Amino acid sequence: MKRKRNHPLLLLMLATLPAIAQEEMSPVWELRLEHKANLVGTDPNEGPGLNYAASDKEITVMDKETGKVLWSKAYKELAPNLRKIDELVPFWQSGCIFLFDRKMGKDQIGVVDMRTGALLWTSDKYQDLSEDNVMYIKERDAFCISMKDALHYVIARTGEEKWSTSTFKGTVGKYLFMPDGKVVMVNFVPDGLGALFTGFKNQIAKVDLDKGTIEWEATYIGRAERKVLTGEFLYDLNADGDRVYLMLNGVQVYDYKSGAQLWSAAFDFTPDGIKGRPANAVKWGVYGGVAQPVTVGDDLYVLDCVNRRKQYLKKYDRRSGKLLWTSPEIPDAKAIPGIYVNGDRVVLQIGGQVETQAYIRRTERNPDGTTQVVTIQRIEWINVKPCGLKAFNTTDGSMVWESERFKKGITNAFIEGDLLHVCSGKALYAMDPTTGAERYEVPLADDNISDATNILPNGDQVVVIGEKGVSTHTRADGKLVHSGKYKAARFRARFGDMVLVETERDDIAAFDLKDCSFKQYNNRAGAMNQLSYNGAFVYVYDKKDVLKLKTH
Amino acid sequence: MIRAILLLLVICWNVVVHAQRAEPRSLEETQTYVHNALTQAVATGDLGELAREIGAHGTMTVELTIDHKGRVESLFVQDSTIPGIPERNQVKDHVKNLRFDLALPKGKRYQFTETITLP
Q: What percent of chain A has pLDDT over 90?
A: 66
Q: What is the DSSP letter of A506?
A: -
Domain boundaries, chain A: 1-24+416-526, 130-266, 280-410
Phi, psi of A78 (to 5 degrees): -70, -45
What CATH number should be reported for the domain whose range is A280-410? Answer: 2.40.10.480
Give A2's pLDDT tier (boundaries 50, 70, 90). Answer: very low
Residue A35 has pLDDT above 90, yes or no: yes
Same fold, A1-24+416-526 and A280-410: no
Bridge-based pairing of strands A294-296 and A299-304 is antiparallel
Do B96 and B47 form a contact (C-beta atoms < 8 A)?
no
pTM of the model: 0.85
How many residues would you count in chain A?
Answer: 552
Alpha-carbon distance values, A548 to A26, A29, A338, A442, A533 (Å): 9, 5, 37, 40, 13
Radius of gyration of chain A (CA): 26
Residue A72 has pLDDT above 80, yes or no: yes
Nearest to A162 among B77, B93, B96 (CB): B77
Q: Tell me what pLDDT residue B5 has.
A: 60
Tell me which of A275-284, A320-329, A417-426 is least confident. Answer: A275-284
CA separation for the pair A357, A379 (Å, rounded): 5
Alpha-carbon distance values, A405 to A363, A426, A427, A436, B5 (Å): 45, 11, 10, 11, 76
The fold for domain A130-266 equals: Lipocalin (2.40.128)
C-alpha A231 chain-centroid distance = 7
| pLDDT tens by residue, A360-376 | 888 888 888 888 787 78
Nearest to B76 among A150, A163, A166 (CB): A163
Distance from the B106 Cα atom to the nearest Cα atom in chain A, whole angstroms: 16
Question: What integer is the mean pLDDT of B15-20?
Answer: 46
Residue A271 has pLDDT above 90, yes or no: no
Task: Map A386-434 to HEC letters.
Answer: EEEEEEEECCCCCEEEEECCCCCCCCCEEEECCEEEEECCCEEEEECCC
- Those residues whose C-beta lies under 8 Å from the C-beta of residue A298, and which sit 6 or more positions away, are A317, A318, A319
Please answer yes or no on whether A159 and B86 come within 8 Å at the CB atom.
yes
Q: Say what the ipTM of the complex is.
A: 0.79
Bridge partners of residue A233, in order along the sequence: A226
Q: Tell me what pLDDT residue B1 has.
A: 54
Give A266's pLDDT tier (boundaries 50, 70, 90). Answer: confident
- Those residues whose C-beta lies under 8 Å from the C-beta of residue A83, and which sit 6 or more positions away, are A57, A75, A76, A101
Residue B16 has pLDDT above 60, yes or no: no
CATH superfamily of A1-24+416-526: YVTN repeat-like/Quinoprotein amine dehydrogenase (2.130.10.10)
Residue B6 has pLDDT above 80, yes or no: no
CA separation for the pair A460, A550 (Å, rounded): 28
| pLDDT tens by residue, A96-143 | 999 999 887 788 999 999 999 999 999 998 988 888 889 999 999 999
Question: What integer is the mean pLDDT of A290-313?
Answer: 88
- The average confidence (pLDDT) of chain B is 87
Assess whether the previous peptide bond of A271 is cis (omega < 30° from 0).
no
Give the residue among A185, A90, A201, A88 at the shortest CA–CA distance from A144: A185
Residue A444 has pLDDT above 90, yes or no: yes
Question: What integer is the mean pLDDT of A14-39?
Answer: 77
Q: Tell me what pLDDT residue A81 has.
A: 82
Do A509 and A531 form a contact (C-beta atoms < 8 A)?
no
Q: Tell me what pLDDT residue A195 has.
A: 67
Question: In CATH, what is the architecture of B24-118?
Answer: 2-Layer Sandwich (3.30)
Distance from the B16 Cα atom to the nearest Cα atom in chain A, whole angstroms: 29
Type and span of the H or E element at A492? strand A490-495
Domain boundaries, chain B: 24-118
Distance from the B53 Cα atom to the nearest Cα atom in chain A, whole angstroms: 17
Give the residue among A482, A489, A491 at the shortest CA–CA distance from A446: A482
Q: Which residues of A168-206 are buried (b: 16+ CB within 10 A; e: fewer)?
A: bbbbbbbbbeeeeebbbbbbbbbbbbeebbeeeebbbbb
Q: Tell me what pLDDT residue A301 has.
A: 96
Please answer yes or no on whether B89 and A125 come within 8 Å at the CB atom.
yes
| pLDDT tens by residue, A195-230 | 677 778 899 999 999 999 999 999 999 888 889 888
Please answer yes or no on whether A167 and B97 come within 8 Å at the CB atom.
no
Question: What integer is the mean pLDDT of A259-274?
Answer: 82
Give B9's pLDDT tier (boundaries 50, 70, 90). Answer: low
